[in-house]
Amino acid sequence: MSKKLFFMYKNPDYVVDGIRSALGQAVENNYAFGAVLTDMPELDEHNKENVDWIRDMEGEMYSTVPSVCEKNELTPITLEELGKQLRDMDLVIPYGIK
């Protein structure tokens, strides 16, 4: 049965691979969501396409950082909204905490 997964990215060194990992789970017929909680460089076109794929498969990629939303075309989310989203998830995955 498909599960709702939420990836949390706090370390900029892990964001790109973490998005790839979320896409991998979307391909595995799970619902993949994620939130970037840190500043990070601009994604290249390949990785922006990965975000689009996640959306095509009924997932979403958010950020709490306005500048990250703007340069990477991620969906803005507040901490309060994020908290509500997490309550609906089957699994919350902190990705690459250091």
Residues that bind other proteins (CB under 8 A): 1, 3, 5, 13-14, 17-18, 20-21, 24-25, 27-28, 30, 91, 93-98
DSSP string covering 12-78: GGGHHHHHHHHHHHHHTT-EEEEEE-S--PPPPHHHHHHHHHHHHTT-EEEES-HHHHHHHTPEE--
CB of 66 to other proteins, least distance (A): 26
Question: What's the first-to-final CA gap in the chain, in angstroms?
Answer: 32
* For other proteins, the closer CB: 53 or 95: 95
* For other proteins, the closer CB: 14 or 33: 14
CB of 78 to other proteins, least distance (A): 24
* For other proteins, the closer CB: 24 or 66: 24
Residue 62 carries which side chain, given as an amino acid letter? Y
CB of 6 to other proteins, least distance (A): 12
* For other proteins, the closer CB: 3 or 67: 3
